[in-house]
């Protein structure tokens, strides 16, 4: 789920139906097909919707009303990309890596396809990840990374250098911090702290951190 202040609406990615739902402030609901399974969604500076489709290794850009504007095929070494955010200068910040993958990292992809990354083999040390699943970026392009199975949120610099843990595992009650929202005006980070058994999320809460 993400929102757009410009169009005053909310977008919801539907993995099962392979579509995006759009809900505006008047309550009007529409949807459009992605034709692939969407995972992470975000809104860029042009107020378009970026949909990350990990199983086809693509980022799809749609207008606010569902017109497909372009498709970006990710580099060969970016496998299982979960979420992407586009910076003001057109670069993409992408987190990728599933449980069985050899590489778990956050990378910045330039307009010419060059990749600068942070991470590598999965692990729990500083600078390592175990399924980095969701991103948030502030106005100065500092990057927050939800590291699901390490049960933490990490802060990176605009050049993707490790800074610190923003949320450690002792602040989380459950085991899947897999979604975030950053309120840049109030400097508050909202982290979904979910419990999951099998394929179902059984309970959860939202942890609010001043950043």
Would you say residue 113 has pLDDT above 80?
A: no
Whether 116 and 160 have beta carbons less than 8 Å apart is answered as yes
pLDDT of residue 85: 98
Would you say residue 45 has pLDDT above 90?
A: yes
Instruction: Choose the weakest-confidence range: 12-16, 59-63, 113-117.
Output: 113-117
**For the whole model, what pTM was predicted?**
0.94
Alpha-carbon distances of 151 from 72, 124, 169, 185, rounded to whole Å? 30, 10, 5, 26
Give the three-class secondary structure for 36.
coil
Would you say residue 122 has pLDDT above 80?
A: yes
> What is the Cα–Cα distance from 99 to 129, expressed in whole angstroms?
10
Whether 40 and 58 have beta carbons less than 8 Å apart is answered as no
The class of domain 2-171 in CATH terms is mainly beta
- At 173, is the pLDDT very low, low, confident or very high (cuts 50, 70, 90)? confident
Instruction: Choose the weakest-confidence range: 30-34, 111-115, 166-170.
Output: 111-115
Q: What region does 178 belong to: left with phi over 0, alpha with psi -120 to 50, or beta?
A: alpha
> What is the Cα–Cα distance from 153 to 138, expressed in whole angstroms?
14
Per DSSP, the residues of 124-174 read SSTT--S-EEEEEE-TT--EEEEETTTTEEEEE-TT--EEEEEE-GGG-SS
Would you say residue 198 has pLDDT above 80?
A: no
């Amino acid at each position: 789920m993400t929102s757009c202040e410009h169009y005053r609406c909310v977008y919801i990615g539907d993995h099962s139906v392979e579509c995006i739902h759009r809900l505006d402030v008047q309550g009007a609901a529409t949807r459009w097909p992605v034709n692939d399974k969407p995972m992470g969604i975000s809104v860029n500076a042009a107020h378009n919707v970026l949909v990350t489709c990990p199983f086809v290794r693509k980022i799809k850009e749609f207008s606010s009303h569902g017109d497909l504007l372009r498709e970006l095929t990710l580099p060969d070494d970016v496998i299982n990309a979960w979420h992407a955010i586009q910076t003001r200068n057109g670069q993409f910040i992408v987190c990728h890596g599933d449980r069985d993958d050899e590489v778990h990292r956050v990378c910045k992809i330039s307009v010419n396809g060059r990749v600068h990354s942070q991470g590598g083999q999965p692990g729990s040390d500083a600078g390592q990840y175990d399924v980095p699943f969701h991103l948030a970026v502030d106005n100065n392009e500092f990057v927050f990374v939800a590291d699901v199975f390490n049960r933490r949120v990490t802060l990176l610099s605009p050049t993707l250098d490790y800074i610190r843990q923003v949320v450690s595992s002792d602040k989380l009650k459950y085991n899947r911090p897999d979604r975030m929202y950053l309120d840049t005006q109030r400097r508050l980070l909202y982290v979904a702290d979910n419990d999951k058994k099998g394929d179902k999320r059984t309970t959860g809460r939202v942890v609010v951190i001043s950043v």
